[in-house]
Amino acid sequence: MQTHRKHILLSLMATVNALVAYCQGSLCPPNIDFENGNLSNWECKTGRVESIAGVNTVTWESSGVNPLNHHIIPRATAGLDPYGNFSEASPNGSAYSVRLGNNYFQNISAEGMFYTFGIPDTATLFSILFYYAVVFQDPQHNPDEQPRFRARIFNVTDNEVIDCANFDFTASASLPGFAVSTTDPTVIYKDWTPVTINLSGLAGKTIRLEFITSDCTFRGHFGYAYIDVSGSCSGAVTGNQVCADAEEVSLVAPYGFQTYTWYADQTFSTVLSSSQALTISPVPPAGTTFPVVVGPYPGFGCPDTVVAVVKTVSLPLAIAGTDVTSCKNQFAQLGAEPVQGYGYTWTPSSLLVNPTAANPVTVLNLPDTTTFYLAVTDSMTGCRNYDSVNVNPVLIDTAMLVSGRTSFCNNETVSTSLQLLANTGSFQWLENNNEVNGANLSVFNPNPVATSIYQAVIKKDICTDFSRQVIITKLPVPVAGFSISPAEQCLNGPVMVVNNSTEPTGVNTSYIWQLSDGRSYITKDLGLTFNTPGRKDISLIATTADGCRDTTTQSYQVLDRCGVFVPTAFTPGDDGRNDLFRPYFLGAYKLKRFAVYERNGSLVFETKTIGDGWNGRIKGKMLTTSVLLWMLEYEDDSGKIILQKGTVTLIR
């Protein structure tokens, strides 16, 4: 059997995809894979190409990155090459690749990229894997005048080129592996191609990667290439790190080779697979090795052996927390402090405020006892672990049954009943946010003086909640009232009924008048006549737009004859019986003057107001039985002034 060179090689696929593997775990050369998104640590040059004495010669004129010639291509914005119709991003999945050169005409430019690094003294196994793609115009000049691409790995220490990694392509229709563009038949291209180089035994040596493109020497035709270099140095085939709970392991060898041969161990006696990937179940013990021999396409590198070493990776710590009893209207804290490099996913996510945090909180008002599941992913290993926690919300039934109306007039008795449906817990009723003394039962009968808001505080276990609010509205009531002029009504005489009701501010009030003779009116004031004598009842009903009402009734005597009557005697004494001496007007009369005199002519009492009378006192002292004079002047309903005189006896 052929002796295979064994080393640890990561599966990295790129335009020029260089895989540097250190058996002892040394560091990769920084930014060899362009994953910084720039060309730091690379030496970039720009110059011109000429045919000198039949030799294609490059002369460097400037150093530094020239974006037209050294162009970084992010995978996120990569397109298709306009001539080869292949992706500008390398097939290995890296984030960045480079286009070296361009398709501009009228140039004789040359572009170069160089990366120099040292292989550690302790590295006994070391390999490089790179990918490239090339696009040429073929003007069919002489070979020394054609567009050109060169790629090589150079041993700087020993000043020699490394075999299997020295490629020099000159545009020609006969180039193996090249195809003619369907866009422009003068253009040929080569899609992404991998190259693997074994550098074992070169520990301590300085190595340089070199990539050079150049146009034709007549300023008329272009040549450019795509390059990508990978810096993964884990020393293992992809998938060799196995999570502790895995049931199988899937090993994937580097992409882009012609042949793959997996062996059971390093005796190379038992072949397991000839595919790029190898799946093994159950997972073998940690430290088990599986070598794979990778064979390149003819002329593109040397056969190599990649050794996959199975490694068992511990699961990340998943802490969902202890089961929680929480109030329904409060947040519940879950989980624990975050660990750097861990990703967190909680379900059901809709019931959490921040479901990707290590220690999220629940939303308010969980509907029921809920189990939350936590998945923790280690971003370095991809391993995942799980945990769960139960959250038991204390459910307080805040429903309330309202019996009866919630709106009452001020002159009505409130008959509303409020009943909580909760059958457990303690209760406290509130009126306008103030506790109602003694209102601690589930049923409450409010009795507000004015419009008030009622609500219950419900406590259960460690939690407190509130019922909905109920507003009991007390509506203002009008005060019905009226007066009649004149005070004594005569048959067929005009009567003015004046409405002096008190109306609530800002509330429309309507009126209904009802008379005992069956008549009714809806005006505010009334003008009446009575054509039959006797007692008459007048009622006034005042009603607001809210339906609150008040009623008042007054009775009046309608006389069939009207006149003026002055008593001949009275008995003052504050007993409420015949205590005043005054004239009585029966009909429409206007009092001009009523006066009382002692017999010596001294004025005792005088008034111009109907209804006023003398109480039998002079300067506050009650007179004894005596006879006094009186004089009355008034105007009758025809406007005639009438003067009357007489005597009255004060009886004690």
Q: Within this chain, do residues 175 and 110 fall inside the same structural domain, yes or no?
A: yes
- Please give the biggest Cα pair distance in the chain: 169
Q: What is the mean pLDDT of residues 62-82?
A: 94
* Amino acid of residue 189: Y
Claim to verify: residue 537 and residue 605 sit in the same structural domain: no
**Are 426 and 549 members of one domain?**
no
User: What pLDDT shows up at residue 124?
Assistant: 67
pLDDT digits (tens, 9 = 90+) for 268-279: 999 999 998 999
CA 452 to chain centre: 35
Residue where a domain stops, chosen among 284, 313, 342: 313
Q: 336: closest CA among 328, 346, 326? A: 346
**Within a domain: residue 233?**
no
Q: Does 385 reside within a domain?
A: yes
Mean pLDDT for the stretch of residues 97-110: 88
CA distance 446 to 603: 64
Average per-residue pLDDT for the chain: 87
The reply to whether 505 and 616 lie within a common domain is no
pLDDT higher at 37 or 194: 37
Whether the Cβ atoms of residue 567 and residue 520 lie closer than 8 Å to each other: no
Domain match, 34 and 165 both: yes
Q: Give percent of the chain with pLDDT exceeding 90.
A: 60
Report d(CA 274, CA 296) in Å as an integer: 14
Do 51 and 111 lie in a common domain? yes
| Domain CATH for 486 | 2.60.40.10
Residues 433 and 509 in one domain: no
At residue 237, the pLDDT reads 66
Q: Which of 472, 490, 508 is the last residue of a domain?
A: 472
Max mean pLDDT among 13-17, 325-329, 544-548 falls in 544-548
- pTM value surpassing 0.75: no
Out of 228, 255, 283, a domain closes at: 228
Range of the domain at 409: 405-472
Q: How many domains does the chain have?
A: 6
- Assess if residue 101 is contained within a domain: yes
CA distance 202 to 178: 33
- Tell me the H-state helices in 92-248: none
Q: Is 75 helix (H, G, I), strand (E, B) or coil?
A: helix
Asked if residue 234 belongs to a domain, the reply is no
Rounded Cα distance, 56 and 148, in Å = 9
Is there a domain that residue 1 lies in? no
Instruction: Classify residue 3: in a domain, yes or no.
Output: no
- CATH number of the CATH domain containing 409: 2.60.40
Whether 77 and 184 map to the same domain: the answer is yes
* pLDDT given for residue 588 in this prediction: 61
Whether residues 617 and 630 fall in one domain:
yes
For residues 501 and 271, what is the distance between their CA atoms, to the nearest angstrom?
113
Q: Which of 465, 407, 459, 455 is nearest to 434 (CA)?
A: 455
> 415 or 168: which carries more pLDDT confidence?
415
DSSP state of 283: P
Same domain, 120 and 153: yes
Task: Count CB-CB contacts under 10 A for residue 200.
Answer: 16
Instruction: Give the mean model confidence (pLDDT) for residues 602-609.
Output: 94
Q: Is 152 in the same domain as 193?
A: yes
Q: Which residue has better confidence, 652 or 199?
A: 652
Whether cis (ω within 30° of 0) applies to the bond prior to 29 is no
Q: Check whether residue 43 and residue 175 sit in a common domain.
A: yes
Is the residue at 123 inside a domain?
yes
**Would you state the structure tokens that stand for residue 300, as one six-digit string?**
């593109």
Residue 615 domain flag: yes
Q: How high is the pLDDT of residue 486?
A: 64
